[in-house]
């Protein structure tokens, strides 16, 4: 009997994934455990193995298609077997929250078939400023006499789309078969239209989730890292002999861990449902990594228990895996605090977005040589700009400043870091 293979939950709380590439085709013989398809979930690429030995009778999901957990994607059976109509897509009655590198992600509502939707009575159009819709959609609603504030939007964040307006008038069925016209130009010239898919789609959903959930506040300061830079330069060659690239980042990770130990509310998350703050007793430090596909945040687990050289080696390995898309999904999860180094690209100050459900993120600016008054004299010092964004529901400004002072104290006096290593 043909076996309907449903898209499995391959990660904690996964609800969907994008088909990147099929590794088999219809009619191929497959063995149990053989890789069937490559999918992208929460920024990580994963190969889904075959659950049994047999023949690929029917592939039901196309490349670049986004599929839900529980949706039949392929039918496997014996050669010559007839393919029975596949099971319907999983109902979205009680979906589990999708947890990715940036925390829980809201799911867009399932589209309702036209036949199951009762046409709304035609009313004078109301253009409510509180309804999310483009000017074109508002104009269409006015033209068709639809009260736009009475229409349930099916787009992101409840945005009302053109199809929602036509569906509300019962006109959707008349145009359903017509191909959508995609213009290659707008009022001012030619344009390219890039589908929001893969890593960029995950980033977009994560940023919206974070900004609409946590009230962001950013505090900024500077650290004189001249002594730390000298230590790094001194030990760099010794590290290279061990095959380790030593940067300043492992020292910053250690300084951050020291700050989190003294100020535990920055190493936390907020449980809105139960109205409780969860203080983490472990220190998993994420670091934002620029990749060709977009931003990824690999996580160094148990950073407090690792030496400077161990951190340097792991940071390098995780960054390389992220850029080559060979990183495991587990390496993108479990963070308690994140560091982002936009200074590597030349920025000095920024306002980083918190990596939800964490409550704080530290931004590193460009290190600059600057004249500084020290002991009554002017000296050229290496100054590192710092920007700490925090969730004001959990952390107050005074506590954020104290945390930043603890971090700066370690960066300006590296002996404190070495004593804690």
Please tell me the distance from the alpha carbon of residue 52 to that of residue 35, in angstroms, as a whole number.
11
Q: In what order do the strands lie in the sheet with 66-68?
A: 44-49, 35-41, 16-22, 66-68
Domain covering 111-195: architecture: Irregular (4.10)
In this predicted structure, what is the pLDDT of residue 126?
A: 41
Domain map (residue ranges) of the chain: 3-104, 111-195, 214-420
Is the CB of residue 146 less than 8 Å from the CB of residue 137? Answer: no
- For the domain bounded by 214-420, which CATH number is listed? 3.30.559.10
Residue 400 CA to residue 220 CA, distance in Å, equals: 10
Residues 6+ apart with CB under 8 A from 343: 364, 365, 366, 367, 384, 385
- As given in the structure block, the two tokens for residue 269 are 């998350």
Q: How far apart are CA 309 and CA 131, in angstroms?
A: 53
Q: Which residue has the tokens 């950013």?
A: 218
Question: What is the total residue count of the chain?
Answer: 421
Nearest to 30, CA basis, from 8, 47, 12: 47
The values of phi and psi at residue 67, to 5°, are -115, 150
Ranges of the chain with pLDDT below 70: 11-13, 84-130, 170-180, 421
Backbone angle region of 256, left / alpha / beta, with phi > 0 → left and psi within -120 to 50 → alpha: alpha
User: How high is the pLDDT of residue 271?
Assistant: 93
Q: ω before 357 within 30° of 0 (cis)?
A: yes
Strand, coil or helix: what is 130? Answer: coil
How do strand 276-279 and strand 103-105 relate by DSSP bridges? unpaired
Q: What tens digit of pLDDT does each residue of 361-411 get?
A: 999 999 999 999 988 899 999 999 999 999 999 999 999 999 999 999 999
390 in Cβ contact with 217 (< 8 Å): yes
- DSSP states along 117-180: SPPPPP------TTS---HHHHHHHHHHT--GGGSPP-SGGG---HHHHHHHTT-HHHHTTSPP
Report residue 129 as tokens.
């400023």
DSSP state of 342: G
Helices (H) and strands (E) in the chain, counts: 9, 21
Is the CA virtual torsion 194, 197, 199, 204 positive or negative?
Answer: positive
Cα–Cα distance, 225 to 409 (Å, whole number): 10
What are phi and psi for residue 318, nearest 5 degrees?
-65, -40
- 99 by DSSP, 3-state: which? strand
Tokens 């196309």 found at: 62
Task: Check if the beta carbon of residue 385 is closer than 8 Å to that of residue 224.
Answer: no
Report how far residue 96's alpha carbon sits from residue 272's, in angstroms, rounded to the nearest whole number: 16
CB 8 within 8 A of CB 48: yes
The CA distance from 200 to 206, in Å, is 10
Q: Is 3-104 a domain of CATH 2.40.50.100?
A: yes
The 10 Å Cβ neighbour count of residue 170 is 14
Return contacts of 137-141, CB within 8 angstroms, 24+ apart: 137/161, 137/162, 137/165, 140/165, 140/166, 141/165
Rounded to an integer, what distance in angstroms lies between the CA atom of residue 287 and that of residue 249? 9
Q: What is the separation, in whole angstroms, between the first and last Cα of the chain?
A: 60
Secondary structure percentages of the chain, helix, strand, coil, to 5: 30, 25, 45
The set of catalytic residues is 392
**H-helix or E-strand spanning residue 315:** helix 308-324
Q: What is the DSSP letter of 314?
A: H
Q: What is the DSSP letter of 190?
A: B
């Amino acid at each position: 009997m043909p076996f309907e293979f449903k898209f499995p939950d391959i990660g904690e709380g996964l609800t969907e994934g994008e088909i990147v590439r099929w590794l088999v085709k219809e009619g191929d013989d497959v063995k149990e455990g053989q890789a069937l398809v490559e999918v992208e979930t929460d920024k990580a690429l994963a190969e889904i193995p075959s659950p049994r030995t047999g023949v690929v009778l029917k592939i039901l999901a196309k490349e670049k298609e986004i599929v839900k957990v529980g949706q039949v994607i392929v039918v496997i059976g014996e050669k010559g077997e007839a393919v029975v109509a596949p099971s319907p897509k999983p109902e979205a009655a009680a979906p589990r929250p999708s947890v990715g590198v940036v925390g829980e992600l809201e799911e867009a509502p399932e589209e309702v078939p036209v036949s199951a939707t009762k046409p709304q009575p035609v009313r004078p159009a109301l253009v409510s400023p509180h309804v999310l819709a483009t000017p074109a959609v508002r104009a269409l609603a006015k033209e068709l006499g639809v009260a736009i504030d009475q229409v349930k939007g099916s787009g992101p964040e409840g945005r009302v789309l053109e199809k929602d307006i036509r569906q509300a008038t019962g006109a959707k069925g008349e145009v359903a078969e017509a191909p959508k016209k995609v213009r290659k130009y707008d009022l001012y010239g030619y344009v390219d239209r890039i589908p929001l898919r893969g890593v960029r789609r995950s980033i977009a959903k994560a940023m919206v989730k974070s900004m609409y959930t946590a009230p962001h506040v950013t505090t900024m300061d500077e650290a004189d890292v001249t002594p730390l830079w000298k230590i790094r330069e001194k030990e760099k060659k010794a590290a290279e002999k061990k095959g380790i690239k030593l940067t300043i980042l492992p020292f910053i990770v250690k300084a951050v861990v020291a700050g989190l130990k003294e100020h535990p509310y920055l190493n936390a998350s907020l449980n809105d449902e139960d109205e409780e703050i969860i203080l983490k007793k472990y220190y998993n430090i994420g670091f934002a990594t620029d990749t060709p596909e977009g931003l990824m945040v690999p996580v160094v687990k148990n950073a407090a228990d690792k030496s400077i050289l161990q951190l340097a080696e792991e940071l390098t390995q995780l960054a390389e895996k992220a850029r080559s898309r060979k990183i495991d999904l587990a390496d993108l999860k479990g963070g308690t605090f994140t560091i982002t180094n936009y200074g590597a690209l030349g920025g000095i100050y920024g306002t980083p977005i918190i990596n939800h459900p964490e409550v704080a993120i530290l931004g590193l600016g460009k290190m600059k040589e600057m004249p500084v008054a020290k002991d009554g004299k002017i000296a050229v010092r290496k100054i590192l700009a710092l920007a700490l964004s925090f969730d004001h529901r959990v952390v107050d400004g005074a506590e954020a400043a104290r945390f930043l002072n603890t971090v700066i104290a370690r960066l300006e006096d590296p002996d404190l870091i070495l004593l804690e290593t």
